[in-house]
Amino acid sequence: MSTEPKWPKGKHSDYSAFVIEVGVRKDHSGGVRSYKRIQGAQDLEVVENMGPSQGMEEGAWALLTETVRIEAMLQLLVKLSNDPKFQEKMVSADPAPDELIEQLSEDTLEQITRSLVEMAPGIAREAIQQVRDGLRR
């Protein structure tokens, strides 16, 4: 996994780019927690000029895209490890056959959907609490 930025951050003539850091913690019982934040002052300046949501929409879309991309890779690695025919089909055709793409897409969607069903109530509770606490100040 490359750590070099794909696009220099900041405001440019044809795009604006900012970095979101994601912190990950896994406890001894396997529970995973995370947080996200804007990386630095230059990133904050960029998102402050992105309209009312201040980069939240763009950040959410980017993080969702990366989540789906990573889950698809995980599902592909599971398939390659457990299904020799999948690997044979994958390497024998260029481009990859539509049936393999559909199968990987369905597996990815199924796993993400299962995870979202489990996560959504707690995350909704957290969002309401966070905004409610801010409104009470």
**Domain ranges across the chain:** 1-54, 56-137
* Phi, then psi, of 93 in degrees rounded to 5: -125, 145
Q: Which spans in the chain are helix H?
A: 41-48, 56-82, 84-92, 98-136
Residue at 70: amino acid letter? I
Angle between helices 56-82 and 98-136 (to 10 degrees): 140
Express each pLDDT in 28-78 by its tens digit: 999 999 999 999 999 999 999 999 999 999 999 999 999 999 999 999 999
**Residue 99, both tokens:** 């049936």
What is the pairing mode between strands 20-26 and 32-38?
Answer: antiparallel
Write out pLDDT tens, residues 102-129: 999 999 999 999 999 999 999 999 999 9
